[in-house]
Amino acid sequence: MRFFIVDAFADDLFGGNPAGVVLIPDGEPFPEDETMRKTAAELRYSETAFIRTLGGNEFEVRYFTPAAEVDLCGHATIASFYVLNKEGHIDSGIPCIARTKAGALAIDIFGKSVFMEMGEAKSLGVIDGKAALDELYGVMGIEAVVPEADGTPLFPELVSTGLPDIMLAVSGTEALAAIRPDFPALSALSERYSVTGVHAFCRTDDPSVLHCRNFAPLYDIDEEAATGTANGALTYYLYRKELIGDGDSLVFLQGEAMGRPSEVRARLSVGQGDIRIQVGGPAVILAEGSINLYRILPFLRRI
């Protein structure tokens, strides 16, 4: 099987969020789940995508962290379809379908950029009680201050566009930079809320630009440099707060605290009650090679 290391949401190497991408040979099934998890652990990136061609421009994609399988990963999807395009499996401008455990997602490729349609946008609950707020902000290592936007409190909210995360607003870039999570406590809290982790953000003077940090220690990811699914969820959060509307585009700046600056772009369209969120950006391939997986068979050794 061929593998690639790809920096997603970046124009240059060593920026963005690195992901592993493994291409399953045509006609072959996925390896066993534990083999894919061990492969992801061996590659040592937060997520590795395994891709199998279904025919035409449809692909089945599964995602593994070093600890477990997850239903969807935005940056690994961007990386995967960038690789498929560069390797000549798909052409730019031709819509594709990624079949994932979060549903069938539409993928569009324009030059160096890949945009993926997010899954169904859902709010799974608001955190607004004092005890719950104190706990959440305390776990993140910052004061429990809920910022406002146009007079509306930006309470933390559980939101999903494929994977659930807690959207956590903070007052500005200083508060964002000051976050120092208690990772064991955050893992326990994430498990209790049934979320992947916490996506912290602050607004800027430009309403279309936000700064973000993402933490998912429950899945062995203390911090991620770029998270497509979480920024898709944040797009829906901002829409619910009436801070953006139909046709708006956003830029999420992430990874700055990690020395891996990333730009995640999102597009929102609303028509007849249907909400469509696309998240995407560029990518670049750092490395590629082969993975050799062997089944150990019993044999007789002649003396």
Q: Could you report the per-residue pLDDT of 165-205, keeping only the tens digit for each?
A: 999 999 999 999 999 999 999 999 999 999 999 999 999 99
In a domain, residue 296? The reply is no
Boundaries of domain holding 141: 122-280
Task: Report yes or no on 183 lying in a domain.
Answer: yes
In 3-state terms, what secondary structure has residue 205?
A: coil
In a domain, 299, yes or no: no
C-alpha closest to that of 230 among 166, 137, 186: 166
Number of helices (H), then strands (E), belonging to the chain: the values are 6, 19
Structure-model confidence comparison of residues 303 and 5, the more confident one: 5
Instruction: Report how many domains make up the chain.
Output: 2
The answer on 206 and 91 residing in a single domain is no
- Same domain? For 8 and 94 the reply is yes
DSSP states of 208-246: TEEEEEEEEGGGTEEEES--HHHHHHHHHHHHHTTSS-T
Predicted TM-score (pTM) of this structure = 0.82
**Nearest alpha carbon to residue 61 among 42, 43, 83, 44:** 83
Query: Does a structural domain hold residue 8?
Result: yes
If asked whether residues 17 and 134 sit together in one domain, one would say no
302, pLDDT greater than 50: no
Give the CATH number for residue 152: 3.10.310.10
